């Protein structure tokens, strides 16, 4: 099994033109998933089984102001995962986990102080514990070998 969970989220308004932040998100959030696939796929093919769990985000389902680039990277994770699932055949499984706001230090990487403050306020008000995502991953991998949980969306009940 491979869990592709690397990600960065230095979100900001497009007008801020934080091109280096955009490049970081593309490099980590998209290319990181691809590099993980490149490392694991030959091993999975050789052993005849394997399970990719790629972490996307609810931002990969819907975007909001300041999250355009981040959302684009998470939409890409979903597209790559679906393509991999279709190419995988009947011996490899592919699951996308799309978390909502999780109680982590993700806001530390946000370069816009205004956006960072808003995210921290929301996180402190209603974010779910990281264990919720671990349980979603466990659910997907505990299924029988002929069952593929394709996507799980997990979010706090208070998140809009």
Distance separating alpha carbons of residues 72 and 77, to the nearest angstrom: 9
Where exactly are the structural domains of the chain? 2-154
**What torsion, rounded to 10 degrees, do the Cα atoms 79, 81, 82, 87 define?**
130
Tens digit of pLDDT for each residue in 24-79? 999 999 999 999 999 999 999 999 999 999 999 999 999 999 999 999 999 999 99
Tell me how far apart the alpha carbons of residues 132 and 58 are, in angstroms, rounded to a whole number. Answer: 14
Mean pLDDT of the chain: 94
Pairing of strands 151-154, 92-99: parallel
| Fold assignment, 2-154 | Rossmann fold (3.40.50)
CA 21 to mean position of chain CA atoms: 17
Q: Which residues are catalytic?
A: 70
pLDDT at 107: 81
């Amino acid at each position: 099994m491979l869990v592709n969970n690397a990600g960065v989220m230095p979100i900001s308004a497009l007008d801020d033109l934080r091109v280096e932040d955009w490049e970081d998100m593309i490099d980590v959030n998209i290319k990181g998933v691809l590099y993980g696939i490149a490392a694991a796929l030959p091993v999975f093919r050789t052993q005849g089984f394997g399970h990719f769990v790629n972490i996307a985000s609810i931002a990969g389902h819907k975007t909001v102001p300041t999250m355009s680039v981040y959302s684009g990277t998470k939409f890409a994770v979903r597209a790559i995962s679906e393509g991999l699932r279709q190419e995988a055949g009947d011996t490899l499984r592919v699951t996308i986990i799309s978390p909502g706001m999780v109680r982590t230090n993700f806001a530390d990487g946000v370069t816009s102080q205004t956006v960072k403050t808003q995210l921290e306020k929301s996180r402190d008000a209603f974010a779910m514990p990281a264990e919720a995502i671990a349980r979603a991953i466990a659910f997907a991998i505990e299924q029988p070998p002929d069952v593929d949980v394709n996507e799980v969306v997990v979010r706090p009940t208070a998140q809009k």
